[in-house]
Amino acid sequence: MLNTYPVVCGYYVKRPSTNSHANTTINDHESSAIHFRSPCCSETEVLSRFTTPSRYSSSRGSNNNNSFLHDELPAGEAPQNRLIIVDPHDDDGDGWYYGSSHKCLLICFRIIWKLLLSLGIVLLVYYMASKPPPPKISIKMAGVHQFGIGEGVDGTGVATKTLTCNCSIDLIIDNKSKLFGLHIHPPIIEMSFGRFPFASSHGRKLYAASHGSSLFQLSFGTRNRPMYGAGRNMQDLLASRKGLPLIIRMSFRSNYRVVGDLIKSNFLHRSECFLFLHRNYDKRHATQVYNSTCAVTS
């Protein structure tokens, strides 16, 4: 159902200053009212307001309908113009009076509103003109510096296979923006065997300078992690020629701060690496022998 609102009209009425206006005919006041009436009101509506008794009439009372027009001013008081807003649907025939203080508030409100609107337009134009392009992200395995499965116990004293590993990965960010640096939230890295995650890490905040490529090396791993039934299978695959298949997933958010924290360009990045780890250890590069394939998924 649609909501309807009453139409509000306004006109100015000049208050008489002396008793000399007491004999002025109602026709003169009607013509004056029509001269100052708002174009949104009809002529009949304006005249009906003057011919209807008003609650603001003189306290001395009057038997005619135009008593509020004959209200006298105190000695020495100048006549005043008042803005009367008339509601055509108001059965009481009353209007709302707005003085100079209300006019000042209205003017201030309009000025503030125009300033805010202008500021918003300027910021929007600036953002559209200097909008930075999305950064280019790539990752690659840097090394598996330690990976060993041995005998141990869990927190309750149950004997099981335990895993200790220490890995690192290279994050390369190509920032194509010439004006803004890229703010990077702490990356989240998770390493899993099939559906079983066994190592994770929350990195630190990073920053990639504008118009250049930045390289960050991130480390992750675990120590004496109980593997239970998966430990035996991992140990057998590690010793085989095929190698131990592992999955490394990384996700993080980044943003360009165009106007401080007010306007930002946000991005979400996800990537993963498929790692085939072998039993042999490469002393020259201080890493376990492995083959890997990495890709950015989003």
DSSP 22: T
Mean pLDDT confidence for 31-42 = 45
Phi, psi of 5 (to 5 degrees): -125, 145
Is the pTM for the entire model greater than 0.95?
no
Please report whether residue 284 resides in a domain.
yes
Please report whether residue 259 resides in a domain.
yes
Mean pLDDT confidence for 231-239 = 90
Please report whether residue 291 resides in a domain.
yes
Q: For residues 13 and 83, is the Cβ–Cβ distance under 8 A? A: no
What pLDDT score does 183 carry? 95
Query: What is the 3 state secondary structure string of the chain?
Result: CCCCCCCCEEEEEECCCCHHHCCCCHHHHHHHHHHHECCCCCHHHHHHHHHCCCCCCCCCCCCCCCHHHHCCCCCCCCCCEEEEEECCCCCCCCEEEECHHHHHHHHHHHHHHHHHHHHHHHHHHHHHHCCCCCCEEEEEEEEEEEEEEEEEECCCCCEEEEEEEEEEEEEEEEECCCCCCEEECCCEEEEEECCEEEEEEECCCEEECCCEEEEEEEEEEEEEEECCHHHHHHHHHHHCCCCEEEEEEEEEEEEEEEECCCEEEEEEEEEEEEEEEEEEEECCCCEEEEEEEEEECC
**Residue for token pair 């807003």:** 85
**Residue for token pair 């003017």:** 107
| pLDDT greater than 70 at residue 28 | no
Q: For residues 137 and 273, is the Cβ–Cβ distance under 8 A? A: no
Structure tokens given for 290: 């492995």
What pLDDT score does 241 carry? 82
Structural domain count of the chain: 1
| pLDDT greater than 60 at residue 260 | yes
| pLDDT greater than 80 at residue 244 | yes
**Residue among 175, 114, 168, 174 nearest 142 (CA):** 168
Mean pLDDT confidence for 67-79 = 52
| pLDDT greater than 60 at residue 49 | no
Bridge partners (DSSP) listed for residue 264: 257
- 77 pLDDT band, cuts 50/70/90, is low
How far CA 269 is from CA of 56, 173, 201, 244, 275, in Å, comes to: 71, 11, 16, 27, 20
Please report whether residue 164 resides in a domain.
yes
Range(s) of the domain holding residue 228 = 136-297
Give the pLDDT confidence of 99-154 residue by residue, as tens digits. 567 788 888 888 999 898 888 787 777 777 678 889 999 999 999 999 999 898 88
Span of 35-44, 96-105, 179-188 with lowest mean pLDDT: 35-44
- Radius of gyration for the alpha carbons in the chain, expressed in angstroms and rounded: 41
Please report whether residue 203 resides in a domain.
yes
Span of 49-63, 85-99, 181-195 with lowest mean pLDDT: 49-63
Span of 17-26, 199-208, 266-275 with lowest mean pLDDT: 17-26
Maximum mean pLDDT: which of 23-32, 42-51, 62-71, 99-108:
99-108
Please report whether residue 62 resides in a domain.
no
| pLDDT greater than 80 at residue 93 | no
What pLDDT score does 1 carry? 44
How does the average pLDDT of the chain come out, rounded?
Answer: 75
| pLDDT greater than 50 at residue 36 | no
- 79 pLDDT band, cuts 50/70/90, is low
Give the pLDDT confidence of 181-234 residue by residue, as tens digits. 999 999 999 999 988 999 999 989 999 999 889 999 999 999 999 998 888 899
Structure tokens given for 91: 């059965």
